[in-house]
Structure 1
Amino acid sequence: MTQSTPEAGNGAVGKGPEGTVPMPGAAKGGPVSHAIFRLARLHRMFAGQLLRRIGLHPGQELVMMHLWELGPQRQADLVRLMDSDAATMTRTVRRLEQAGFVRRRPSPTDRRASLIEPTAASQALRHEVERVWSQLEEISTAGLSDDERAAALRTLESLEQNLVRAAADPAACAEAEGPRLG
Protein backbone atom coordinates (compact mmCIF):
# COMPACT_ATOMS: atom_id res chain seq x y z
CA MET A 1 0.00 0.00 0.00
CA THR A 2 1.36 3.39 -0.91
CA GLN A 3 0.72 6.12 1.62
CA SER A 4 0.57 9.83 1.18
CA THR A 5 1.25 12.17 4.07
CA PRO A 6 0.41 15.83 4.56
CA GLU A 7 4.04 16.73 5.15
CA ALA A 8 5.08 15.05 1.95
CA GLY A 9 2.49 16.86 -0.11
CA ASN A 10 0.81 14.64 -2.67
CA GLY A 11 3.83 12.47 -3.35
CA ALA A 12 3.77 8.83 -2.30
CA VAL A 13 5.86 7.82 0.63
CA GLY A 14 7.10 4.23 0.65
CA LYS A 15 5.74 1.30 -1.29
CA GLY A 16 4.51 -2.17 -0.63
CA PRO A 17 2.72 -3.77 2.29
CA GLU A 18 5.19 -2.28 4.75
CA GLY A 19 3.51 1.12 4.47
CA THR A 20 5.45 4.34 4.64
CA VAL A 21 8.70 3.03 6.07
CA PRO A 22 10.23 -0.04 4.45
CA MET A 23 11.16 -2.68 6.99
CA PRO A 24 14.93 -3.03 7.24
CA GLY A 25 16.27 -6.56 7.36
CA ALA A 26 17.35 -6.14 10.98
CA ALA A 27 13.69 -5.52 11.94
CA LYS A 28 12.37 -8.72 10.33
CA GLY A 29 12.26 -10.36 13.77
CA GLY A 30 9.85 -7.66 14.98
CA PRO A 31 7.20 -6.96 12.35
CA VAL A 32 4.58 -5.96 14.96
CA SER A 33 7.05 -3.63 16.66
CA HIS A 34 7.93 -2.10 13.31
CA ALA A 35 4.23 -1.64 12.50
CA ILE A 36 3.70 0.06 15.88
CA PHE A 37 6.63 2.39 15.14
CA ARG A 38 5.16 3.31 11.75
CA LEU A 39 1.65 3.75 13.11
CA ALA A 40 2.79 5.90 16.05
CA ARG A 41 4.88 8.10 13.77
CA LEU A 42 2.02 8.73 11.35
CA HIS A 43 -0.55 9.17 14.12
CA ARG A 44 1.63 11.77 15.85
CA MET A 45 2.23 13.56 12.54
CA PHE A 46 -1.50 13.82 11.80
CA ALA A 47 -2.24 14.81 15.41
CA GLY A 48 0.40 17.53 15.16
CA GLN A 49 -1.05 18.87 11.96
CA LEU A 50 -4.60 18.99 13.37
CA LEU A 51 -3.51 20.44 16.73
CA ARG A 52 -1.38 23.17 15.14
CA ARG A 53 -4.58 24.59 13.65
CA ILE A 54 -5.84 25.29 17.19
CA GLY A 55 -2.51 26.45 18.61
CA LEU A 56 -1.35 23.27 20.37
CA HIS A 57 1.46 20.75 20.03
CA PRO A 58 0.97 16.98 20.48
CA GLY A 59 0.77 16.11 24.16
CA GLN A 60 -0.46 19.52 25.26
CA GLU A 61 -4.04 18.51 24.55
CA LEU A 62 -3.66 15.50 26.87
CA VAL A 63 -2.50 17.75 29.71
CA MET A 64 -5.50 19.99 29.07
CA MET A 65 -7.86 16.98 29.01
CA HIS A 66 -6.63 15.92 32.46
CA LEU A 67 -6.98 19.45 33.82
CA TRP A 68 -10.50 19.83 32.41
CA GLU A 69 -11.49 16.48 33.85
CA LEU A 70 -9.72 16.60 37.23
CA GLY A 71 -9.38 20.30 37.92
CA PRO A 72 -6.20 21.99 39.19
CA GLN A 73 -3.24 19.64 39.63
CA ARG A 74 0.26 19.87 40.98
CA GLN A 75 2.85 19.60 38.24
CA ALA A 76 4.25 16.44 39.89
CA ASP A 77 0.78 14.90 39.65
CA LEU A 78 0.60 15.76 35.94
CA VAL A 79 3.98 14.06 35.46
CA ARG A 80 2.56 10.87 37.00
CA LEU A 81 -0.76 11.09 35.14
CA MET A 82 1.00 11.52 31.81
CA ASP A 83 3.82 9.08 32.56
CA SER A 84 6.13 11.93 31.62
CA ASP A 85 9.30 13.39 33.02
CA ALA A 86 9.59 16.62 35.00
CA ALA A 87 11.55 18.53 32.34
CA THR A 88 9.05 17.74 29.58
CA MET A 89 6.12 18.67 31.79
CA THR A 90 7.81 21.93 32.80
CA ARG A 91 8.19 22.89 29.13
CA THR A 92 4.62 21.83 28.33
CA VAL A 93 3.11 23.78 31.22
CA ARG A 94 5.24 26.84 30.42
CA ARG A 95 4.05 26.82 26.80
CA LEU A 96 0.42 26.36 27.82
CA GLU A 97 0.83 29.20 30.32
CA GLN A 98 2.34 31.50 27.67
CA ALA A 99 -0.57 30.67 25.36
CA GLY A 100 -3.00 31.63 28.12
CA PHE A 101 -4.53 28.15 28.54
CA VAL A 102 -3.29 27.46 32.09
CA ARG A 103 -2.16 29.48 35.09
CA ARG A 104 -0.29 28.64 38.26
CA ARG A 105 -1.61 29.43 41.70
CA PRO A 106 -0.23 28.56 45.13
CA SER A 107 -1.44 25.29 46.59
CA PRO A 108 -3.64 25.87 49.63
CA THR A 109 -2.31 22.69 51.28
CA ASP A 110 1.40 22.74 50.36
CA ARG A 111 3.26 26.04 50.46
CA ARG A 112 6.09 24.56 48.37
CA ALA A 113 3.83 23.58 45.48
CA SER A 114 1.72 25.40 42.98
CA LEU A 115 -1.35 24.17 41.20
CA ILE A 116 -1.77 24.22 37.44
CA GLU A 117 -5.31 25.10 36.47
CA PRO A 118 -7.11 25.64 33.18
CA THR A 119 -8.07 29.21 32.37
CA ALA A 120 -11.40 30.44 31.05
CA ALA A 121 -9.70 30.78 27.65
CA SER A 122 -8.95 27.06 27.67
CA GLN A 123 -12.63 26.24 28.06
CA ALA A 124 -13.24 27.49 24.52
CA LEU A 125 -10.34 25.29 23.41
CA ARG A 126 -11.97 22.18 24.89
CA HIS A 127 -14.54 21.90 22.09
CA GLU A 128 -11.80 22.26 19.50
CA VAL A 129 -9.65 19.55 21.15
CA GLU A 130 -12.64 17.19 21.23
CA ARG A 131 -13.27 17.92 17.55
CA VAL A 132 -9.63 17.27 16.66
CA TRP A 133 -9.61 13.97 18.55
CA SER A 134 -12.81 12.87 16.79
CA GLN A 135 -11.28 13.80 13.45
CA LEU A 136 -8.07 11.92 14.29
CA GLU A 137 -10.14 8.88 15.28
CA GLU A 138 -12.00 9.00 11.96
CA ILE A 139 -8.78 9.32 9.97
CA SER A 140 -7.18 6.46 11.91
CA THR A 141 -10.11 4.05 11.72
CA ALA A 142 -11.55 4.93 8.31
CA GLY A 143 -13.04 1.90 6.60
CA LEU A 144 -13.23 -0.21 9.77
CA SER A 145 -16.52 -1.60 10.99
CA ASP A 146 -17.57 -1.12 14.60
CA ASP A 147 -16.48 -4.71 15.31
CA GLU A 148 -13.08 -4.11 13.70
CA ARG A 149 -12.63 -0.91 15.71
CA ALA A 150 -13.45 -2.78 18.92
CA ALA A 151 -11.05 -5.61 18.00
CA ALA A 152 -8.29 -3.12 17.17
CA LEU A 153 -8.81 -1.38 20.50
CA ARG A 154 -8.65 -4.71 22.39
CA THR A 155 -5.45 -5.64 20.56
CA LEU A 156 -3.82 -2.28 21.27
CA GLU A 157 -4.82 -2.51 24.94
CA SER A 158 -3.29 -6.02 25.13
CA LEU A 159 -0.06 -4.80 23.57
CA GLU A 160 0.04 -1.88 26.01
CA GLN A 161 -0.50 -4.21 28.98
CA ASN A 162 2.34 -6.45 27.78
CA LEU A 163 4.65 -3.45 27.77
CA VAL A 164 3.38 -2.21 31.14
CA ARG A 165 4.10 -5.65 32.66
CA ALA A 166 7.55 -5.71 31.05
CA ALA A 167 8.34 -2.24 32.39
CA ALA A 168 7.28 -3.33 35.88
CA ASP A 169 9.59 -6.37 35.73
CA PRO A 170 13.11 -5.19 34.83
CA ALA A 171 14.40 -8.77 35.16
CA ALA A 172 12.15 -9.87 32.30
CA CYS A 173 13.53 -7.08 30.12
CA ALA A 174 17.09 -8.07 30.97
CA GLU A 175 16.37 -11.67 29.97
CA ALA A 176 14.87 -10.53 26.68
CA GLU A 177 17.88 -8.32 25.88
CA GLY A 178 20.18 -11.22 25.15
CA PRO A 179 23.94 -10.80 24.85
CA ARG A 180 25.43 -7.32 25.09
CA LEU A 181 27.90 -5.94 22.62
CA GLY A 182 30.93 -4.12 23.73
Structure 2
Amino acid sequence: MPGVAKAHRKLAGRLLDELGLSAGQELLLMLLWDESPRTQADLTRLLMVEPPTTAKMLARLEKSGFVARERSTTDGRVVLVRPTPAGRDLEGPVTTTWAQLEELTTAGLSDTERKQLSELLSRVGETLADRLN
Protein backbone atom coordinates (compact mmCIF):
# COMPACT_ATOMS: atom_id res chain seq x y z
CA MET A 1 0.00 0.00 0.00
CA PRO A 2 2.77 2.56 0.67
CA GLY A 3 3.73 2.23 -2.98
CA VAL A 4 0.27 3.41 -4.01
CA ALA A 5 0.47 6.56 -1.90
CA LYS A 6 3.96 7.34 -3.13
CA ALA A 7 3.07 6.81 -6.81
CA HIS A 8 -0.13 8.85 -6.46
CA ARG A 9 1.73 11.75 -4.85
CA LYS A 10 4.43 11.61 -7.53
CA LEU A 11 1.83 11.70 -10.32
CA ALA A 12 0.00 14.54 -8.57
CA GLY A 13 3.28 16.43 -8.29
CA ARG A 14 3.99 15.95 -11.98
CA LEU A 15 0.55 17.26 -12.97
CA LEU A 16 0.64 20.17 -10.52
CA ASP A 17 4.13 21.15 -11.64
CA GLU A 18 2.58 22.24 -14.94
CA LEU A 19 0.61 24.84 -12.89
CA GLY A 20 3.67 26.01 -10.97
CA LEU A 21 2.64 24.13 -7.81
CA SER A 22 4.10 21.32 -5.75
CA ALA A 23 1.99 18.50 -4.36
CA GLY A 24 0.27 19.71 -1.20
CA GLN A 25 0.23 23.37 -2.15
CA GLU A 26 -3.07 22.92 -3.97
CA LEU A 27 -4.65 21.69 -0.72
CA LEU A 28 -3.66 24.90 1.01
CA LEU A 29 -5.05 26.96 -1.86
CA MET A 30 -8.30 24.98 -1.76
CA LEU A 31 -8.73 25.93 1.89
CA LEU A 32 -8.19 29.58 0.98
CA TRP A 33 -10.65 29.40 -1.92
CA ASP A 34 -13.26 28.10 0.51
CA GLU A 35 -12.61 30.78 3.12
CA SER A 36 -10.28 33.72 3.13
CA PRO A 37 -8.43 35.11 4.91
CA ARG A 38 -7.41 32.27 7.19
CA THR A 39 -4.81 32.34 9.90
CA GLN A 40 -1.56 30.50 9.34
CA ALA A 41 -2.33 28.47 12.50
CA ASP A 42 -5.74 27.49 11.11
CA LEU A 43 -4.16 26.30 7.86
CA THR A 44 -1.63 24.23 9.82
CA ARG A 45 -4.41 22.59 11.82
CA LEU A 46 -6.60 21.89 8.78
CA LEU A 47 -3.72 20.47 6.75
CA MET A 48 -2.62 18.34 9.73
CA VAL A 49 1.03 19.31 9.30
CA GLU A 50 3.67 20.91 11.50
CA PRO A 51 3.94 24.73 11.62
CA PRO A 52 7.33 24.81 9.82
CA THR A 53 5.79 22.82 6.93
CA THR A 54 3.03 25.41 6.57
CA ALA A 55 5.53 28.26 6.81
CA LYS A 56 7.68 26.79 4.01
CA MET A 57 4.66 26.11 1.84
CA LEU A 58 3.39 29.66 2.32
CA ALA A 59 6.82 31.15 1.62
CA ARG A 60 6.97 29.31 -1.70
CA LEU A 61 3.39 30.22 -2.62
CA GLU A 62 4.03 33.85 -1.69
CA LYS A 63 7.23 33.94 -3.75
CA SER A 64 5.25 32.55 -6.71
CA GLY A 65 2.64 35.29 -6.24
CA PHE A 66 -0.22 32.94 -5.32
CA VAL A 67 -0.81 34.04 -1.70
CA ALA A 68 -0.28 37.12 0.42
CA ARG A 69 0.43 37.14 4.15
CA GLU A 70 -0.13 39.99 6.54
CA ARG A 71 -0.18 40.52 10.28
CA SER A 72 -3.57 40.92 11.90
CA THR A 73 -4.36 44.51 12.80
CA THR A 74 -5.94 43.33 16.07
CA ASP A 75 -3.27 40.81 17.12
CA GLY A 76 0.26 41.18 15.77
CA ARG A 77 1.04 37.55 16.60
CA VAL A 78 -1.53 36.33 14.08
CA VAL A 79 -0.63 35.95 10.39
CA LEU A 80 -3.54 36.14 7.95
CA VAL A 81 -3.27 34.45 4.57
CA ARG A 82 -5.32 35.13 1.46
CA PRO A 83 -5.03 34.10 -2.17
CA THR A 84 -3.88 36.74 -4.61
CA PRO A 85 -5.73 37.18 -7.92
CA ALA A 86 -3.12 34.85 -9.49
CA GLY A 87 -3.84 32.31 -6.75
CA ARG A 88 -7.58 32.55 -7.36
CA ASP A 89 -6.97 32.05 -11.09
CA LEU A 90 -5.58 28.60 -10.28
CA GLU A 91 -8.91 27.30 -8.95
CA GLY A 92 -10.18 26.10 -12.34
CA PRO A 93 -6.89 24.55 -13.48
CA VAL A 94 -6.39 22.80 -10.11
CA THR A 95 -9.93 21.41 -10.21
CA THR A 96 -9.29 20.13 -13.73
CA THR A 97 -5.96 18.65 -12.65
CA TRP A 98 -7.58 16.82 -9.73
CA ALA A 99 -10.22 15.37 -12.07
CA GLN A 100 -7.43 14.27 -14.42
CA LEU A 101 -5.53 12.72 -11.51
CA GLU A 102 -8.62 10.79 -10.43
CA GLU A 103 -9.19 9.56 -13.98
CA LEU A 104 -5.58 8.44 -14.37
CA THR A 105 -5.58 6.80 -10.94
CA THR A 106 -8.69 4.74 -11.58
CA ALA A 107 -8.26 4.12 -15.31
CA GLY A 108 -7.90 0.36 -14.86
CA LEU A 109 -11.12 0.02 -12.86
CA SER A 110 -14.69 -0.56 -13.95
CA ASP A 111 -17.42 1.86 -12.88
CA THR A 112 -18.49 -0.61 -10.19
CA GLU A 113 -14.92 -0.92 -8.92
CA ARG A 114 -14.53 2.87 -8.88
CA LYS A 115 -17.66 3.23 -6.77
CA GLN A 116 -16.50 0.47 -4.43
CA LEU A 117 -13.05 2.04 -4.11
CA SER A 118 -14.61 5.41 -3.31
CA GLU A 119 -16.78 3.87 -0.60
CA LEU A 120 -13.86 1.96 0.91
CA LEU A 121 -11.58 5.00 0.91
CA SER A 122 -14.32 7.04 2.59
CA ARG A 123 -14.50 4.45 5.35
CA VAL A 124 -10.71 4.41 5.71
CA GLY A 125 -10.75 8.22 5.90
CA GLU A 126 -13.40 8.15 8.64
CA THR A 127 -11.39 5.59 10.60
CA LEU A 128 -8.24 7.70 10.34
CA ALA A 129 -10.12 10.86 11.38
CA ASP A 130 -11.52 9.03 14.42
CA ARG A 131 -8.02 7.93 15.43
CA LEU A 132 -6.75 11.51 15.21
CA ASN A 133 -9.49 12.88 17.47
Indicate the RMSD between aligned Cα atoms, in angstroms: 1.5
Which structure 1 segments of 5+ residues have no match?
1-34, 169-182
Larger deviation, residues 122-131 vs 56-65: 122-131
Q: Alpha-carbon deviation of 1:131?
A: 1.4
Q: Alpha-carbon deviation of 1:167?
A: 4.0
Letter in 2 for 1:61: E
The match for 2:129 among 164, 167, 170 is 164
Letter in 1 for 2:44: V
Counterpart position of 2:65: 100
The match for 1:110 among 58, 75, 91 is 75
Q: Which has the larger radius of gyration?
A: 1
Partners of 1:49 and 1:132 in 2: CA distance: 10
Counterpart position of 1:51: 16
Which structure 2 segments of 5+ residues have no match?
none
Higher relative contact order (CA 8 A, sep 6+): 2
Partners of 2:37 and 2:129 in 1: CA distance: 27
The match for 2:50 among 85, 99, 107 is 85
1:42 aligns with 2:7: yes
1:1-182 map, 5 Å: 35=1, 37-168=2-133
Q: Alpha-carbon deviation of 1:157?
A: 1.8
Q: Alpha-carbon deviation of 1:105?
A: 1.9
Counterpart position of 1:8: none
TM-score by length of 1: 0.68
Deviations 1:1-40 (Å, cap 9, x if unpaired)?
xxxxxxxxxxxxxxxxxxxxxxxxxxxxxxxxxx2x1110
Partners of 2:66 and 2:130 in 1: CA distance: 35
TM-score by length of 2: 0.91
Partners of 1:109 and 1:147 in 2: CA distance: 53
Point out the structure with the larger helix share. Answer: 2
Deviations 1:138-173 (Å, cap 9, x if unpaired)?
1011143443222111111222233333444xxxxx
**Identity score, percent:** 42
Partners of 2:98 and 2:116 in 1: CA distance: 20
Residue 22 of structure 2 aligns to a residue whose secondary structure is coil
